[in-house]
């Protein structure tokens, strides 16, 4: 029986080997037969089969590409509700200090300024000013002195001026300021125009004239930060003149109120001038004016329109006032056209400010009224700044000076006249070193045949240069001025013309440090013999030199 089993087992093994060599059976069939036979064999037969290794045919590889279906998108809404609770943490002071930047140097502002000098013709000069703020009070004082003496060459050709002006402005509230001030001037003039045949009649006491003014002013104004603006000022002064024994009390009150919206506004300007003359002349006169107006503006246009009313000379002068400004090239070119009315209150103080040899006479008081029609242009183009105007004036009561009965003095007369005028100024900076500029005023008078505008020049020209050298330590400013011949009338009733005025003046300043400097002022360097009023010539070339300092 056992023999049969062995034979049977060997037969099966031979069959299996034959099948492997012919490579006709598949791996699946072999596995199935082996599994079935192994389940029937005992353990000892199994040991024989384990030692036998069959070589199977190479199976074809199957390409397997696993795929995963795409998951549908899931949108989730998140809502975070966080309560912020501040928590104070005390940090210890850092042990490492940060680097510190060096601060800018504090800019020095000086409260005081002084200019002291001396010149030929025994002429000292001095200018002193001081300004300060204490709490809510801003105060200051200005004083100047100038004298000149050429009496060695021309008898009584000398003069002196003393002027003092002090003010105190008090800030009452954030929106209200009180303005106050006092001032005085003591001017000394000599009548040195004395004909040869009359010189023996006048000693120094008869030649000297003192003009002394004492005044005070007070007013209020609001802050400039508000759309509603207002200012009211009252000024009273007393003038005493020797030789004529003339005293004059002047009172001036002027005020302005305006309201400016975003583009539209309204304003009112009003003024009163009153003069009372006593002693040699007992007279008084009053000038009143009021100008209400509207103004409107946008990026290209500024328009002002209103009416001027002036009560003076026992008459009422009513005239429209208007100005149109068109910005053509963004401040480079602006066109101007307008109408205006102005007045000059010809008080003794106003007249003697430009001619100290005026002699007051009864009936010599009145106001000059000027109506103007004008057009022009202005602008700032790169380094060029310019202003120009041309127009026509109608003038009532134009004041002119003629010789009085006393040949040393002048009388005041009035004429009506018209004139065409051209006015222009310009300046141009060539570079940081040179700036040039100038201006002119040309008048073409329209007068009746028998009327002459005595002592009124028809043209004035000036030109100047500012030169900065040595890192701006040295500044030189020469100025050339020209005024054409003016007509005058002498005591014999003869009409003549004065020499034209051609004057070269130069100012030189040299800065020494932050506090000190040197100056030289030269006037009438051509030493021309000219005068603006008949008989009172300029002294010729005169030079002042000295020091300036800030404190």
DSSP string, 304-318: EEEEEEEEETTEEEE
Residue 43 lies in a domain: yes
CA 441 to chain CA centroid, nearest Å: 25
Task: Assess if residue 22 is contained within a domain.
Answer: yes
Q: How many domains does the chain have?
A: 1
pLDDT at 204: 85
pLDDT at 70: 58
pTM over 0.95: no
The Cα–Cα gap between 408 and 356 comes to 11
Residue 39 within a domain: yes
Q: How far apart are CA 393 and CA 415, in angstroms?
A: 14
Q: Which two tokens stand for residue 55?
A: 């070589």
Confirm whether 425 is domain-assigned: no
Q: Which residue has the tokens 């023996």?
A: 200
Which pLDDT value is given to residue 454?
Answer: 93
| 42 is a domain residue | yes
Phi and psi angles of residue 8, each rounded to the nearest 5 degrees, phi first: -65, -40
Report the alpha-carbon distance of residue 394 to residue 416 in Å, rounded: 8
Whether 141 is covered by a domain: the verdict is: no
Residues whose CB falls within 8 Å of the CB of residue 239, separated by 6 or more in sequence, listed in order? 211, 212, 213, 246, 247, 248, 249, 250, 348, 349, 352
Residue 391 lies in a domain: no
> pLDDT digit of tens for each residue in the chain (551 aa)?
444 445 555 555 554 454 444 444 444 443 444 444 444 444 444 444 444 444 444 444 445 555 556 556 655 554 545 555 555 555 555 555 544 455 556 667 789 999 999 999 999 999 999 999 999 999 999 999 999 999 998 889 999 999 999 999 999 998 999 999 999 999 999 999 987 767 777 888 889 999 999 999 999 999 877 889 999 999 999 999 988 888 999 999 999 999 988 889 999 999 999 999 986 666 889 999 999 999 999 989 999 999 999 999 999 999 999 999 999 998 899 999 999 999 999 999 999 999 999 988 877 889 999 999 999 999 999 899 999 999 999 999 999 999 888 888 999 999 999 999 999 999 999 998 999 999 999 999 999 878 899 999 999 999 999 999 999 999 999 999 999 999 998 877 889 999 999 999 999 999 998 899 999 999 999 998 888 899 899 888 999 999 999 99
In this structure, what DSSP letter does residue 455 have?
A: T
* DSSP secondary structure of 218-232: EEEE--TTSSEEEEE
- CA gap 482, 461 in Å, rounded: 5
Task: Indicate left, alpha or beta for 48 from its phi (over 0: left) and psi (-120 to 50: alpha).
Answer: alpha
Domain that holds residue 38: 2-50
Cα distance from N-terminal residue to C-terminal residue, the chain = 146
In whole angstroms, give the CA distance from residue 542 to residue 199. 26
Find tokens 């001027």 and name the residue.
308
Residue 254 lies in a domain: no
């Amino acid at each position: 029986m056992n023999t049969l089993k062995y034979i049977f087992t060997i037969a099966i093994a031979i069959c299996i080997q034959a099948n492997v060599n012919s490579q006709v059976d598949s791996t699946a069939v072999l596995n199935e037969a082996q599994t079935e036979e192994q389940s029937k064999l005992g353990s000892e037969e199994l040991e024989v089969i384990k030692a036998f290794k069959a070589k199977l045919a190479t199976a074809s590889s199957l390409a397997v590409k696993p795929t995963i279906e795409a998951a549908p998108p899931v949108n989730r809404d998140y809502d975070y509700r966080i309560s912020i609770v501040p928590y104070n943490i005390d940090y210890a002071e850092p042990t490492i200090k940060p680097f510190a930047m060096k601060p800018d140097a504090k800019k020095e502002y000086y409260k005081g300024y002084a200019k002291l000098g001396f010149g030929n013709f025994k002429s000292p000069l001095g200018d002193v000013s001081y300004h300060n703020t204490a709490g809510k009070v801003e105060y200051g004082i200005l004083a100047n002195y100038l004298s000149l003496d050429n009496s060695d060459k021309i008898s009584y050709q000398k003069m002196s001026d003393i002027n003092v002006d002090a003010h105190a402005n008090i800030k009452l509230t954030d929106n209200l300021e009180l303005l106050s001030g006092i001032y005085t001037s003591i001017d000394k003039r000599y009548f040195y125009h004395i004909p040869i045949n009359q010189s023996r009649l006048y000693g120094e006491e008869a030649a000297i004239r003192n003009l002394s003014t004492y005044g005070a002013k007070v007013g209020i104004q609001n802050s400039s930060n508000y759309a509603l603006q207002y200012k009211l000022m009252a000024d009273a002064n007393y003038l005493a003149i020797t030789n004529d024994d003339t005293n004059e009390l002047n009172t001036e009150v002027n005020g302005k109120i305006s309201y400016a919206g975003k583009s539209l506004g309204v304003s009112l300007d009003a003024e009163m001038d009153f003069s009372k003359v006593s002693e040699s002349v007992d007279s008084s006169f009053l000038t009143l004016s009021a100008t209400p107006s509207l103004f409107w503006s946008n990026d290209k246009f500024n328009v002002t329109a209103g009416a001027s009313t002036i009560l003076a000379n026992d008459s009422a002068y009513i005239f429209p006032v208007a100005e149109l400004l068109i910005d053509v090239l963004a401040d480079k070119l602006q066109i101007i056209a307008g109408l205006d009315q102005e007045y000059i209150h010809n008080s003794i103080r106003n007249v003697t400010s430009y001619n100290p040899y005026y002699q007051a006479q009864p009936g010599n008081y009145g106001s000059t009224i000027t109506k103007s029609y004008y057009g022009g242009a202005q602008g700032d183009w790169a380094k060029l700044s310019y202003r120009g105007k041309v127009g026509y004036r109608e003038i009532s009561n134009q004041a002119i000076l003629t010789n009085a009965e006393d040949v040393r003095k002048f009388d005041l007369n009035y004429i009506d006249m018209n004139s065409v005028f051209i006015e222009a100024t310009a300046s141009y900076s060539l570079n940081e070193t040179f700036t040039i500029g100038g201006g002119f005023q040309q008048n073409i008078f329209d007068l009746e045949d028998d009327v002459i505008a005595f002592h009124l020049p028809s043209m004035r020209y000036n030109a100047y240069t500012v030169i900065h050298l040595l890192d701006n330590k040295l500044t030189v400013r020469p100025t050339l001025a020209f005024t054409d011949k003016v007509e005058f009338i002498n005591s014999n009733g003869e009409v003549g013309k004065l020499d034209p005025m051609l004057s070269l003046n130069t100012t030189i300043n040299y800065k020494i440090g932050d506090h000190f400097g040197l100056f030289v002022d030269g006037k009438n360097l051509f030493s021309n013999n000219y005068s603006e009023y008949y008989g009172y010539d300029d002294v010729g070339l005169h030079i002042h030199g000295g020091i300036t300092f800030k404190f």
